[in-house]
Amino acid sequence: MASSTETVRFGLPEVASPFVTVTQISVAEGIVGRNRPHYHPATTELCTVAKGRLDWFVAEESYTVLPGETLVIPPDVVHGAVDANLQPCEIVAIHLLPDELPDKLVSPASSLSPQRLRLAEVASTVRRICAEHFRPSPYRDEIVAALAALLITTVLEHEESEEERTNGRLIRLAMRAMTGKDGVRPTVDDVADRLGVSSVWLHKLFVRETGVSPGDWARSKRLAEAKRMLEEGTSATVAIATKLGYASGQSFATAFRKESGMSPTEYRELHAPSESPREEEVFCVDMREVWEGGVLIYPR
């Protein structure tokens, strides 16, 4: 898959406290396999989507983050793109050090849980923090510090409703059920019956929560899994088609070409592993460090 990415990043020592990075990212056509499991020591990440969507996992939970929504990721918690693939999107990601917040906020900010927020004031504050780093001002540090305190207090005061918790749980259960196993592809009706809700209501809830229909989500998930299996290079194309529930190898090849612009065989050859596949690594990415050309330039 072709990709076009534009990134503007402000990092230490130029970024204003309590932040260590402020990053604006535009991914025009998606990136395959580039956002693998990782964690950030000491820093809390807030990621706001401006356009497109993020399919992200944090610890054991998966989230679909839509425009105007923000994902909160605590320090040292493993996260990354679902299937390591970044969708076409525009996002603003900020990392802050809770210890550099006002004393009263240090402890609660350090104890935030992973969550997806649909608060317009949170998204607008994240974008404002980014904008202040583009705008020269003698008061930038004071403005950013005040915005950081406002951002964290807004997050801390938000209480997820019982309906939000219930709906989120239902969507996660539906996603697990639709993934299927051993070539079984349950329909939306099957999943709705299993969850004890109507298929019409589940469809509407799924679109509202994820931005796509259950069928589109399931197709995207199957194709992402197909890419992973093709990259491993250990399964025949027909075996992959059968495992993922396609009617035939031809129907799988047609669906794959429509989505990726190439056949499964071409994709496998393009992404053939150069060595024996290893168990997926989890990377430590310390946002307090600044690297250029493989050289650590901050801190020295």
Specify the number of domains making up the chain.
2
* Domain assignment present for 260: no
User: Strand, coil or helix: what is 156?
Assistant: helix
* Domain assignment present for 118: yes
Pair (151, 50) in one structural domain: yes
Pair (180, 64) in one structural domain: no
**Residue 163, CA distances (Å) to 1, 67, 108, 166, 167 in order:** 38, 21, 24, 5, 6
* Domain assignment present for 97: yes
Query: What is the token pair recorded at 244?
Result: 């993922």
* Domain assignment present for 246: no
Pair (71, 89) in one structural domain: yes
* Short-list 124, 81, 12, CA closest to 220: 81
* Short-list 82, 148, 72, 161, CA closest to 117: 72
Pair (12, 30) in one structural domain: yes
Pair (44, 155) in one structural domain: yes
Pair (73, 186) in one structural domain: no
Pair (98, 176) in one structural domain: no
Pair (121, 57) in one structural domain: yes
Question: 171 lies in which domain range?
Answer: 163-211
State the helix-helix crossing angle for 162-179 and 214-232, rounded to 10 degrees: 50
* Domain assignment present for 58: yes
Pair (131, 206) in one structural domain: no
Query: What is the token pair recorded at 209?
Result: 């929560």
Q: What angle do CA 76, 291, 32 make, to 5 degrees?
A: 65
User: Strand, coil or helix: what is 263?
Assistant: coil
* Domain assignment present for 187: yes
Answer for the pair 43, 23: CB distance below 8 angstroms, yes or no: no
For 181, list phi and psi in degrees, rounded to 5: -160, 155
Instruction: Return the pLDDT at 280.
Output: 65
pLDDT tens, residue by residue, 80-128: 987 767 778 899 999 999 999 999 999 999 999 999 999 999 999 999 9
Q: Is 164 exposed, middle or buried (0-12, 13-18, 19+ CB in 10 A)?
A: middle
CATH code for the domain of 109: 2.60.120.10
Stretches where the chain sits below pLDDT 70 are 1-4, 29-34, 84, 160, 180-183, 273-280, 300
* Domain assignment present for 277: no
* Domain assignment present for 233: no
Instruction: Return the pLDDT at 293.
Output: 80
Pair (140, 84) in one structural domain: yes
Round to whole Å and give the CA distance between 82 and 222: 12
For 212, list phi and psi in degrees, rounded to 5: -135, 160
Pair (77, 179) in one structural domain: no
Round to whole Å and give the CA distance between 184 and 171: 19
Pair (39, 15) in one structural domain: yes
Q: Which amino acid is at 24?
A: Q
pTM of the complete model: 0.73
Instruction: Return the pLDDT at 281.
Output: 83
